[in-house]
Structure 1
Amino acid sequence: MPAVKTHFQDLPVALDGIPRLEIAHQRFDVCTLPVNRQLHAWLDRMVGVVDLLPTRDEFGRPFRGWIDRYAVGEFLFADCYTDRITQDRTIARISQDNARSIVFHVFFEAAPGSELEFPGKRTDTALEGGIFAVDLDQPVRFRRKPCRHVTIFLPRDMLREVFPDASALHGRKLSPYLPAVRYLVGRVMSFSAQIPYMTPENAHRTLREIVLLITDAFAEDAGLKGSRRALARAMAFDAARRYVHANLHDSDLSPERVVDTLGLSRPTIYRLFQHEGGLAAYIRHLRLRSAADELVAWPGLAVQDIGYALGFKSASDFTRAFRRAYGMAPQEIRQPGNDLRAAATTIATATAIE
């Protein structure tokens, strides 16, 4: 996902007081720069919601990268090509910014060997193309092979009718071999070619339609839309999710309690939360994610007290789970400069000096 900022100035207002849509376009290309400056320039320009993690050797090689970025109303649409690159959104960075968009990534071409890693949630997910979704409120690392793709940033609230909890989209992918995905990729490619010549109103209307179609495709793939059975699954999923959120600080919260309280079958619960690694993993993830927020919001509160309040049986259990999920101890998230960009900057500086 391109590391671009997702905050824009207010839309211009016409004389009648109605916001007037505009398209703000920026293009950046490192291809004309000297080879030893290409990756440096990309790192400098792409400061935003993720950290870029190049290796020392990559700084001395040619690096191709260009991006056309369009701000259209509440959306950010970025058409991008890069050579191989690793992007990381850590829990430390999440704790320091307010970027909470949902992001749809649409591959224009195959990119075998690319993969997503979800700290504290699931194992790596191999990618070969198609479409995948990321929630900027959750950590993710994206190792991307050379390819052209589009990234669409959108407000999570606009998905509420289909995914009441937008975080459930995090890490979902749609195979490039599905007919619906091939159609959607074609729509996105066509839009990317036409947007320089479109009126702001037409561009906004078309982009919104594309976003809703992609959302529907994710809902169909998750079995939450398309039939009476899908409606029942959606209602059960929403009830289970709400119950977990409401009782997250209860140390007795467990999958068994959810099943017994809501009268759901264990196979149903398993299928509903299979994408999360199971209901137990979903509960653990939510507790750790809430702990990260509370550690930053309440720096004077003892670490173990936050762990106990979120249902962990001991301080050591909490620390061990937090470190396993996020690669750091709970108290480290409170330290300034705790994200990985510092490490990337150190490598870049050292290479420049050499």
Structure 2
Amino acid sequence: MNPGDLIVTRTLRSDLCYAEELTFFRVPCFLLDRSAEVLRRDSVIHFSGASGLAALVSRFLSALARTSPSQDPAVGRRLALNTADLVALLMNEVHERSTAGSVDPGRELLLRIQGYIQENLADSDMSPESIARAHHISVRYLHKLFQADGTTVGAWIRQHRLAACRLDLRRQHRAVAVVAQSWGFTSPSHFSRLFRKAYGLSPKEWQNSGI
């Protein structure tokens, strides 16, 4: 690695040689969304900080590392989310380059469907039937696309709704039931059970934890 270079990895590797001065940033995968998929193929991704988007992200992270933590929790959370967005943007650039010229039609359709689902997460009436109908495919083929990606339609929707609720519970400090309903969960008690199972805390505990 040269000064200003970046690496992205799922876990710290003992077989990598790290520089004497290196700053580590931990970014939850759910904040990277689809751009995190490239990490499934590559355990370590190296970015040259000499030019392009990587250089901009590198300079931002370097400045952030030298900045004293904000005493205002709201400012800190906002800064953390913006940082994750920049990393996701950088990862997405790699993902697009790796798939250019060799696009699998099924994969392309799956990504388009996932984008559609994200745009309609708040719709509690969204179902495999309505999603398939919107894309002119059968429900069976829709399930097949998600199974090939190692998940199910319902699990993918649930995961992203929970992630959206998780962020909103911190950013807006609204009632748990209101946040759940705004992201398509019709039963607050069912939402609370799913949230605890996914994150190990109840929605209210997460909202008040400051983690």
* TM-score range for the pair, normalised by the shorter chain length: 0.5 to 0.7
Counterparts of 1:203 and 1:287, CA distance in 2: 34
Displacement of 1:331: 0.8
Structure-2 change in CA distance of 1:257 and 1:225 (3 Å): farther
2:161 aligns with one of 257, 282, 287: 287
Does 1:215 pair with 2:94? yes
Counterparts of 2:209 and 2:15, CA distance in 1: 35
Residues 244-283 of structure 1 mapped to structure 2, 5 A cutoff: 244-265=117-138, 266-267=140-141, 269-272=143-146, 274-275=148-149, 277-283=151-157
**Letter of the structure 2 residue corresponding to residue 148 of structure 1:** L
Counterparts of 1:238 and 1:245, CA distance in 2: 11
**Letter of the structure 2 residue corresponding to residue 290 of structure 1:** A
- Residue of structure 2 equivalent to 1:226: 102
Structure 2: state its 5+ residue gaps.
Answer: 25-30, 55-89
Structure-2 change in CA distance of 1:203 and 1:295 (3 Å): closer
Counterparts of 2:53 and 2:167, CA distance in 1: 33
Displacement of 1:304: 1.3
**Letter of the structure 1 residue corresponding to residue 195 of structure 2:** F
2:204 aligns with one of 328, 331, 345: 331
- Residue of structure 2 equivalent to 1:170: 36
Does 1:71 pair with 2:1? no
Counterparts of 1:255 and 1:282, CA distance in 2: 11
Q: Aligned pair count?
A: 164
Structure number with greater Rg is 1
Q: Identify, as 1 or 2, the structure richer in helix.
A: 2
- Checking the alignment, whether the CA contact within 8 Å between 2:110 and 2:145 is kept in structure 1 is no
- Checking the alignment, whether the CA contact within 8 Å between 2:121 and 2:161 is kept in structure 1 is yes
Residues 1-354 of structure 1 mapped to structure 2, 5 A cutoff: 70-72=3-5, 76-77=6-7, 104-105=8-9, 142=11, 146-148=14-16, 167-170=33-36, 172-174=39-41, 204-205=50-51, 215=94, 219-220=98-99, 226=102, 230=104, 232-265=105-138, 266-267=140-141, 269-272=143-146, 274-275=148-149, 277-299=151-173, 301-337=174-210, 339=211
Displacement of 1:270: 3.0
Structure-2 change in CA distance of 1:70 and 1:278 (3 Å): farther
Displacement of 1:242: 2.6
- Residue of structure 2 equivalent to 1:343: none
Structure 1: state its 5+ residue gaps.
Answer: 1-67, 78-103, 106-133, 135-141, 154-164, 177-183, 192-201, 340-354
**Letter of the structure 2 residue corresponding to residue 257 of structure 1:** S
Aligned-residue RMSD, C-alpha = 4.1
- Checking the alignment, whether the CA contact within 8 Å between 1:270 and 1:279 is kept in structure 2 is no
- Residue of structure 1 equivalent to 2:67: none
Displacement of 1:275: 3.3
Displacement of 1:216: 5.4
TM norm structure 2: 0.59
The secondary structure found in structure 1 opposite 2:3 is: strand
TM norm structure 1: 0.38
The secondary structure found in structure 2 opposite 1:277 is: coil
- Checking the alignment, whether the CA contact within 8 Å between 2:35 and 2:95 is kept in structure 1 is no
Counterparts of 2:17 and 2:148, CA distance in 1: 28
- Checking the alignment, whether the CA contact within 8 Å between 1:233 and 1:272 is kept in structure 2 is no
Counterparts of 2:15 and 2:42, CA distance in 1: 16
Displacement of 1:291: 0.4
The secondary structure found in structure 1 opposite 2:16 is: strand
Deviation track 1:66-97 (CA, whole Å, cap 9, x = no partner) reads xx78325xxx34xxxxxxxxxxxxxxxxxxxx
Counterparts of 1:307 and 1:267, CA distance in 2: 30
Structure-2 change in CA distance of 1:264 and 1:334 (3 Å): same
- Residue of structure 1 equivalent to 2:82: none
Counterparts of 1:69 and 1:324, CA distance in 2: 42
Displacement of 1:255: 2.2
- Checking the alignment, whether the CA contact within 8 Å between 1:273 and 1:282 is kept in structure 2 is no
- Residue of structure 2 equivalent to 1:47: none
Structure-2 change in CA distance of 1:267 and 1:219 (3 Å): farther
Q: Identify, as 1 or 2, the structure richer in strand.
A: 1
**Letter of the structure 2 residue corresponding to residue 226 of structure 1:** S
Displacement of 1:236: 1.6
